[in-house]
Amino acid sequence: MNIKRLEFLLTEKCNSRCIHCQGEHSPERQGVMKVEDGLNYLEETTSVAKLDSFMIFGGESMLYPERVIKLCQKAKELSIPEIELITNGFWGKNVDRARSLATQLKGSGVNEVLISVDAFHLPYLPLDYARNAALACAAAGIRRVRWNIAILESENASNDFDKQTRRIMEILAPLGMEKNVNKVWPQGRARRTLTEFFPKQSLEGKCPKVETALVNPTCVTMDSRGWASICWNLSIGNGKRQPLSKILIGYDWKNHPVIKTLVEHGPKGLLELPEASGFHFEENRYIDKCHLCKDIRKIVKPEYPEMFV
C-alpha cells in the first residue's frame, strides 16, 4: 500500500444540517472517536507508512476540541509534516475562546485550517463566527488558513447557491485568505436535495478512482467505529478488531471480491456478483458510477460485513 495520508472522521455529529452534506451529518448523529483509538491508529499507521499528511474532519470536529488537540499533538510527535483541520468555525462565536482554541491548535501542530463558509453553511452559522475563527487562527500563527467553499457548478455560475457563495466571498475578501473550492458530489443529502444540479453521467467503465483509491490506495479514513475506508463507505477492515498496521500491510485488492470486481469491471460489474442477484437495476435511476456503486454495495453488504461502513 502507498498510504501517504491518514484522515479521521472524528464524529458524524454536527451542529448544522447543510443540504449539500455528503455524509448526512447532523445534531442527531452520534459517536465520536475515542482519543486512545485515534492515538493507536496514528501509531499503527506510521509504523508501516511514511505519512505526508493527517487531517481531522467531521461532522463538526471542533465540538470535541480537546480530542482534536490531543490527536494533532500525537501527529506532531510522529513528525507528520502536514496536520490539517476542517471546521465550520462555529467556535468563532466567542472571540476570546476562539483565540484560546486557535493558540492551542497551533501548539498542537496544526498547520492548516480549512473553515467551511458558503451558501449551504450560512443558514446555520453567521459569517462573523467563521470570520472570527479565521482571524484567531491567523493571529495564532497557523501557517495556512483557507475558506473551504462548496460550489454546485462554478464560482461564477448563475444558480442561487453559487451566486450567494460568491457574495459571501466578496464580503470576506478583505481578510485576504485563500479559498479551497470543492465541487458538491451527488452523495448523501446533496443527492436528495440538489438533484437538478447533477446531470446524469455514464455508468459504463472503470471506477473513477481505481488507481489511487482501490489498486494502490494513498489515503485511509478512520471513523469513530474503527472502520478503515479507502472510498465512500468502502472499508478494508476495522481497526478496533485487528491492528490497523496489519490491515494496511495485508491489503491486496485482488483478495476482496467486491474491490476486485470494481477494479476489473467498474461499478456495473458489481451487478454480476452472485450476491447482487436480488438487486433491481434501473439505469435511469443513477446519477453516476459512484451512486450505483454505493447502492449495489448496500445489497451485497450482508455477505461482506467487513467491507462496508
Q: Which is nearer to ligand SF4, 131 or 294 (CB)?
A: 294
Burial of 109 (0-12, 13-18, 19+ CB in 10 A): buried
Site for ligand SF4 in 210-229 (CB under 6 A): 213
The H or E element containing residue 227 is strand 227-231
Contact status: 257 vs ligand SF4 (CB under 6 A): no
Instruction: Name the one range near ligand SF4 by CB under 6 A: 54-62, 144-152, 176-184, 288-296.
Output: 288-296
Residue 149 found at the interface with ligand SF4 (CB under 6 A): no
Closest CA to 190 of 219, 158, 146, 232: 232
Distance CA(299)–CA(308), nearest Å, equals 10
Q: CB of 111: closest distance to ligand SF4 in angstroms?
A: 29
Beta carbons within 10 angstroms of residue 166's beta carbon: 18
Closest by CA position to 29, among listed 225, 236, 221, 291: 225
- Verify binding: residue 207, ligand SF4, rule CB under 6 A: yes
Least distance from ligand SF4 to the Cβ atom of residue 257, Å = 14
CB nearer to ligand SF4: pick between 63 and 293: 293
Separation between Cα atoms, residue 260 and residue 35, nearest integer Å: 34
Q: Does 69 bind ligand SF4 (CB under 6 A)?
A: no
Kindly state whether residue 256 participates in binding ligand SF4, applying the rule CB under 6 A: no
Number of other CB atoms surrounding residue 168 within 10 Å: 19
Residue found under cell 468502502: 234
262 touches ligand SF4 (CB under 6 A)? yes
Q: Among residues 267, 269, 276, 286, which is the contact residue for ligand SF4, using CB under 6 A?
A: 267
Q: Which residues contribute to the site for ligand SF4 (CB under 6 A)?
A: 207-209, 213, 231-232, 234, 262, 267, 289-290, 293-294
